[in-house]
Amino acid sequence: MTEERITIVSCCNDAFVPHLTTLFVSILENTHTPTSRYSFYIIEDNIGIKNRQLLLQSMNSYNAKVTFLTIDNSNFAHVVESDRIPRTAYFRIVAPELFREMGVKKLLYLDCDMVAVTDIAQLWALDLSDYLLAAVEDAGFHHRLEKMSLPVHSALYFNSGFMLINVEAWLRKEITFRVLNFIENHPEKLRFHDQDALNAVLSGQWLQLHPSWNAQSYIMEGVKEHPLPEGEKEYEETRKQPKIIHYSGHVKPWHGEFDSPTLKDYEKYYNLTAFPPYKQFLVKAYDCPEMVRKKIE
């Protein structure tokens, strides 16, 4: 493994800062690589001063670099949003563009609702020369490419919450422009928003990883069975030994209704941050507007 910096990128608004901090802490707690090799970049959407300070305070002892980035929001003025997928989620599409002059060869994009339970530095040994990114198949099996009626050769569809991106290839092939163009011209096709657009443009150009690298809620809770025997075997392996847990369901660890055994992993790393005690934070989160709506529904 070279001494290339390990570059982690996430997109975050003010509400998700405690969860993003939990993710960052989990990465640093599990690494066997000097934490000084890690560079964390946050593409922010109006993060307040208090939460910014608490995040930086949480990271102080790890000697890792944290940088806040802002982008021109005008590209996302008319994108399709929902309670679960806000405008901020689309920012990942432009992430590689922000490193155009920085010599970064690859970056790992991660959603905020994740925790690492293994050393992610090993991902930097992956050879991405023939691919635009490495990712994990989406565990929902919604047949999105087929339903979008796209002329593709593979039905494989990845979950965009985890993307190990080949920055040089992405920039060379103008992927950001192509994805934004798809969003603008085909809004009616975007049920899963930016994820649909990314898959439409990148179909057949990504490396499929073991699902343990993006252990989505469908997998960890055993909600859906993989249609292939070998896939189901990998799901069983993932439940026994996940590498990155993705709390991708509607109910998250910071909601009172969350009762998965994986709560212990989130709580473990949250309690290492500078944010208020978990139980106190949970009480406030339980009454957030999103959960009130769910209780009414």
Encoded tokens for 243: 């590498």
Residue 182 φ/ψ, nearest 5 degrees: -65, -40
Range with lowest mean pLDDT among 17-21, 152-156, 178-182, 211-215: 152-156
pLDDT for the residue numbered 216: 96
The average confidence (pLDDT) of the chain is: 86
Scanning the chain, the segments in alpha helix (DSSP H) are 17-30, 49-59, 144-147, 167-172, 175-185, 193-202, 217-220, 229-240, 263-270, 278-286, 289-296
6, β-bridge pairs: 38
Specify the fold of 6-296: Spore Coat Polysaccharide Biosynthesis Protein SpsA; Chain A (3.90.550)
pLDDT for the residue numbered 223: 85
Picking from 226, 233, 262, 241, the residue whose alpha carbon sits closest to that of residue 114 is 262
Mean pLDDT of 241-251: 95
Cα distances from 220 to residues 137, 140, 162, in angstroms, run 14, 12, 16
What's the pLDDT tens digit per position in 279-290?
A: 666 644 445 444
Give the dihedral of Cα atoms 186, 74, 195, 134; nearest 10 deg. Answer: 130
Range with lowest mean pLDDT among 4-18, 32-46, 77-91, 192-206: 77-91
End-to-end CA distance of the chain: 51
Instruction: Return left, alpha or beta for 218; rule: phi > 0 is left, psi -120 to 50 is alpha, else beta.
Output: alpha
Please state, in angstroms and rounded to a whole number, the distance separating the CA atoms of residues 165 and 175: 11
Please state, in angstroms and rounded to a whole number, the distance separating the CA atoms of residues 75 and 184: 9
pLDDT for the residue numbered 282: 62
Other Cβ atoms within 10 Å of 237 Cβ, number? 13
Q: Would you say residue 86 has pLDDT above 70?
A: no
Burial of 289 (0-12, 13-18, 19+ CB in 10 A): exposed
8 Å CB contact between 84 and 112: no
Query: In the chain, what's the furthest Cα-to-Cα distance?
Result: 53
Mean pLDDT of 138-145: 78
Length of the chain as a residue count:
297
Q: Provide the CB-side half-sphere exposure for 110 (13 A, CA).
A: 30
